[in-house]
């Protein structure tokens, strides 16, 4: 079996982390970054705010009801952009095989980087160290044999950690995790799967594929 060489690197609560660099007095408190007004939505919430049920894409009005004590800040993309560019430049120092997945996350294939930098876990730690030293914030990394597992693993590693899923360990790693942790599974699909008694990824994996196709079409596939 091949050793894991696909990384998903994700900056932890990126917009909030950047705001805390210039507002250190807010460290350890609930902070929400996003739009305001009747149509405003949350872009990023600190982990302290998430404890109150505040999360990205939540309408800001709802966030204020759930966590009125939080500090609410507008997004400042011009301030975040240089840090995002530096982040992606750091990743390219380790491999040219990079796929950006947004301002604050990317996939890397480091299968050809071992001679220079060591194995995937060593590279993950080097990347995290450079992000901390050069940008001043933290990153979490998932290391696996493919992009999907690496993405779920980076979420499992948050905040500020590394999660390694070795070859052959993928099914066991995924099985107990809630279906919502699969990329592209939103709240509505989560509810529809729950109607079938499917709440974990393992339960979905064990369910007849034909029945999922019949009920959900291409999404079921």
pLDDT by residue (tens digit) across 1-27? 568 999 999 999 999 999 999 999 999
Q: Which of 105, 191, 195, 203 is catalytic?
A: 105
Output 38 or 68, whichever has higher pLDDT.
68
Question: Is the link from the previous residue into 121 a cis peptide, with omega within 30 of 0?
Answer: no
> Other C-beta atoms within 10 Å of 159: how many?
13
Q: How many other C-beta atoms lie within 10 A of the C-beta of residue 132?
A: 13
| Torsion, CA 27, CA 124, CA 107, CA 167, rounded to 10 | -130
Token pair of 9 as six digits: 């690197």
- pLDDT at position 221 is 83
Q: List the structure tokens of 86.
A: 């530096």
Strand partners, 139: 11
pLDDT score of 201 more than 90: yes
Residue 70: left if φ>0, alpha if ψ -120 to 50, beta else—which one? beta
Amino acid 52: pLDDT: 97
What is the per-residue pLDDT for 219? 85
- CA-based nearest residue to 153, from 107, 212, 208: 107
pLDDT digits over 115-174, tens only? 999 999 999 999 999 999 999 999 999 999 999 999 999 999 999 999 999 999 999 999
pLDDT in tens, 40-96: 999 999 999 999 999 999 999 999 999 999 999 999 999 999 999 999 999 999 999
Give the angle subtended at the CA of 111 by the CAs of 109 and 117, to the nearest 5°. Answer: 100
**What is the distance of C-alpha 12 from the center of its chain?**
8
Token pair, residue 19, equals: 């705001």
- Report the pLDDT value the prediction gives residue 2, as an integer from 0 to 100: 65
Distance CA 46, CA 67 (A): 12
Instruction: Report the pLDDT value the prediction gives residue 184, as an integer from 0 to 100.
Output: 82
The Cα 2–Cα 32 span in angstroms is 41
- Alpha helices (runs of H) in the chain, residue ranges in sequence order: 14-22, 47-50, 60-66, 77-92, 114-117, 120-134, 147-157, 170-174, 187-195, 201-206, 209-216
**Amino acid 187: pLDDT:** 86
Check if 121 is active-site.
no
Calpha distance 44→31 (Å, rounded): 9
């Amino acid at each position: 079996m091949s050793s894991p060489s696909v990384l998903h690197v994700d900056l932890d609560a990126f917009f909030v982390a950047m705001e805390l660099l210039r507002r250190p007095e807010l460290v350890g408190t609930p902070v929400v970054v996003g739009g305001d007004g009747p149509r405003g939505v949350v872009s990023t919430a600190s982990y302290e705010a998430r404890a109150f049920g505040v999360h990205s894409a939540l309408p800001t009005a709802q966030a204020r009801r759930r966590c009125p004590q939080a500090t609410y800040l507008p997004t400042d993309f011009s301030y975040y952009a240089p840090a995002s560019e530096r982040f992606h430049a750091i990743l390219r120092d380790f491999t040219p095989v990079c796929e950006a997945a947004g301002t604050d996350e990317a996939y890397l294939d480091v299968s050809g980087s071992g001679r220079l930098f060591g194995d995937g876990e060593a590279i993950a730690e080097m990347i995290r160290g450079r992000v901390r030293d050069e940008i001043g914030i933290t990153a979490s990394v998932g290391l696996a044999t493919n992009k999907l597992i690496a993405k779920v693993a980076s979420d499992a590693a948050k905040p500020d950690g590394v999660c390694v899923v070795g070859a052959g360990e993928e099914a066991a790693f995924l099985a107990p995790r809630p279906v919502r942790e699969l990329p592209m599974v939103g709240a509505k699909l989560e509810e529809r799967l729950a109607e079938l008694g499917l709440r974990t990824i393992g339960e979905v994996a064990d369910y007849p594929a034909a029945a999922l196709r019949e009920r959900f079409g291409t999404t079921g596939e």
